[in-house]
Amino acid sequence: MADVTQTAVDVKIMEQAVTLKVVQAGAAATITQGDQVYQHADGRYKLGDADDLVTAASKGMALTPAGNDGWFVLVTGGLVDIGGTLDVNTEYLASGTAGKFMPASDLANPQLKTSMGSATTVSILDLKINVSGIVEPV
């Protein structure tokens, strides 16, 4: 699977109508701008991936970095410049790699399908998370 390559310092919101939250990273969870995260049972956030039902339940994308137990800004919806190159009109999914996402067309191994949204330009993702709980391909 080819994860989207991002330049963390280039991740930014692209409209005023995005949904933001200030949240806390979990212990042993270093979060970089652009990482997709899930909410752990302890209420803090860790890097998400598509490997199991808990970690595939992405809550959004980090807009700022955070170290262990640090605080960061989480984007949960809206237009986000992901600091990387996207294919226009392509759906992007949570990857099996912690914190990353990939084009839906790269889904090869059975994993949980969590849609992160679709690309509106070569750098902007319309972040609309859909946690399906469905394993694909079967």
Instruction: Give the type of residue at 123.
Output: S
Instruction: Give the type of residue at 110.
Output: P
List of domains in the chain: 8-136 (2.40.300)
Q: CB-based contacts of 123: which residues, under 8 Å, 6+ apart?
A: 81, 82, 83, 84, 85, 86
The whole-number pLDDT of residue 19 equals: 83
Taking 60 as the threshold, does the pLDDT of residue 36 lie above it? yes
CB neighbour class for 24 (10 Å; exposed up to 12, middle 13-18, buried from 19): middle
Taking 70 as the threshold, does the pLDDT of residue 138 lie above it? no
